[in-house]
Structure 1
Amino acid sequence: MYAIIKTGGKQYKVQPGDTLRVEKLDSNLGDELELTEVLAIGGDKTFVGQPTVDNAKVVAVVTNQERAPKVIVFKKKRRQGYRKMQGHRQFYTELFIKAIISPEGEVKADTEANVFDPEKKFVELEKTRIAKKEAKTSGSETVATKKASTKKKAAKKKVAKKAAKKKTAKKKVATKKKTAKK
């Protein structure tokens, strides 16, 4: 069974168990949403709404709220010296379709929603970081016991001095010649 829903000014075809990225919705992670703008339901029997199907809804769980990858906005007017570059990251909400409820019955998803929790991920990263630091400190103690190898220093190269600049001769001032009067 599938349903065609409308949210954020766009239409999406969904089935139970699908994950879907929609425009940002005001809800928290793990919240259940009921999307009531169901335009059509297909399956054994097809229901088409005018504009929506009565007694039909899609139950979804918010699994993630993030920003999409950056889109580059570049404006230019030729021969005018006008160029403008910007970037834009759109907010989105990721939904897991839990069930589709139609006038005929209900179809549920086989799997559960996997909610992304950034705080939980941060805690796990901190634990791994601490474990790596401890491994390094225990490893550095064994390295310190080994004899340090001596390194030969490279001989410094002598830099040749530049030749002194020659002074230019001063120009002679031209004397005015006296012309004979007639």
Structure 2
Amino acid sequence: MIYAIVNIKDKQFKIVENQYIYVPHISEKVGEEILLNQVFLFYKEGKLFLGDPFLEKINIIIEIMQHIKGKKIFVFKKKRRKGYKVKNGFRPLFSKIKIISFLEK
């Protein structure tokens, strides 16, 4: 099994080849392939490689499959005894990506 821990939009994700994951919205078009170079950890055939902070010799190719909205998040503000109540909400944007391959230099 081959997997890696990468940084995508300042969040860390564990990725495996040919897997789909949802990440914060990436502003590229659907169908485009992107090269990720911020890899913290890489595991292959029983060997573990750690970066300090990143591994320079490992790159990952991902493809953007679609852009979607998540479930609604409600924001409710209230001040007691003042009659002040405000209810707002939003739907965060996500991108569904597929991990194509790991590139080792």
Give the aligned length: 103
Pair 1:26 & 2:27 matched = yes
Q: 1:82 aligns with which of 81, 84, 89?
A: 84
> In structure 1, what is the Cα distance between the partners aligned to 2:86 and 2:11?
30
> In structure 1, what is the Cα distance between the partners aligned to 2:83 and 2:94?
36
Q: 2:95 aligns with which of 93, 96, 112?
A: 93
Bigger RCO (CA 8 Å, 6+ sep): 2
Which one has the largest radius of gyration? Answer: 1
Q: How far does residue 68 in structure 1 lie from its aligned partner after superposition? A: 1.2
Letter in 2 for 1:82: Y
Alpha-carbon deviations, 1:24-62, whole Å to 9, x = none? Answer: 112111111111111110122111000101111111110
More helix per residue: 1
Q: TM-score normalized by structure 2?
A: 0.91
Letter in 1 for 2:55: V
**TM-align CA RMSD:** 1.1
Identity %: 27
- Consecutive unaligned residues of structure 2, counting only runs of 5 or more, are none
More strand per residue: 2
Moved over 6 A (4+): none
Q: TM-score normalized by structure 1?
A: 0.54
Structure 2 counterpart of 1:5: 6
